[in-house]
Amino acid sequence: MSGSPLPQRFGLDAARIRMPAEGPWATLREHLHDRLSRVDDERIDDVLRSGGYVDDDGVPLGLDAPFVAGQRIWFHRDLPDEPQVPFEIGILHADERIVVVDKPHFLATIPRGQHIRQTVLVKVREQLGLPELAPAHRLDRATAGVLMFTTGRRWRGSYQNVFRDRLAHKTYLALAPIRDDLVLPVVVRSNIVKERGVIQAHQRVDLPPNSESLVELIEPVPAIGSQAGPALGLYRITPHTGRTHQIRLHLLLLGIPIVNDQLYPELTDTGRDDFSTPLQLLAESLSFTDPIDGTDRRFVSRRRLDSAHERPGRRTGQ
């Protein structure tokens, strides 16, 4: 974070808050007790005693520090308890400008909510010692596969624009039921709406399409032994847009929801430490023309949908 007097901790930038222009508080402590309503007053006092709040010069602010209108203070947020995700992040490529990883299931791309240290960004920052690492695009926590980061601020805009301007070509693999009456390949177009604070996205049939995906069946996946369940297929999906949960929704619209999808068609509540049924969706490949030197870039996941014979609800390790 630019201007922070505190170094990163666990690959995370320090937080910053600015004091109001005026107020009734005589001390910083009084203001923080009012402002940080989700934090126990005793915890705020503990951080003040330990010098965890600092000013722009890095000078610790104690219990008796006065309230200073407009002052900026810096601190590291308390981190939630998180179950350890038991899968490794693969490094597909790393150079001066970009890092491309092979993301496992169950790791979010960036810190958010209850997933902070157990995220790809934080782990790779620590692993490679790259404090300015930032995502050029994102994958859902449930989706595995190719994910690209930029190494520093000077490169960030150029590579993010590749995705913003739809200049990146991406393919995905998914395991889903086979419908004998479904004619493939097929292009799915729909209007997808994702509302803030709502976990599931949904389709609006009264609005023109804002999303498009090409869906192809690669091959059927034979059942093992006497295993019950619908016949499954391995599908390749080529999205031409990048709406939230687009592939999951488009396969659902075709009547072939992805195996182990805990959001579609219905929200399934599982424990945060349950890693037994990964969503069978993989970001298989990413290719684009490098915006800096004009070279052709292509990266392919080394992962496989190796639980490809799972049926929904069957619990096996990844």
Catalytic residue numbers read 140
SS3 124: helix
Q: Identify residue 172 by its one-letter amino acid code.
A: Y
Of 4, 35, 5, nearest to 19 (Cα)? 35
Q: Report the distance separating Cα 314 and Cα 38, nearest Å.
A: 39
Task: Kindly give the pairing relationship between strand 169-177 and strand 98-103.
Answer: unpaired
In the chain the first and final C-alpha atoms are separated, in Å, by 36
Q: Which two tokens stand for residue 176?
A: 């889903």
Please give the full DSSP string across 161-200, using - where no structure is assigned. Answer: HHHHTT--EEEEEEEEE--TT--SSEEEEE-EE--TT-SS
* Strand partners for 119: 108
Contact in structure between 53 and 44 (CB atoms under 8 Å): no
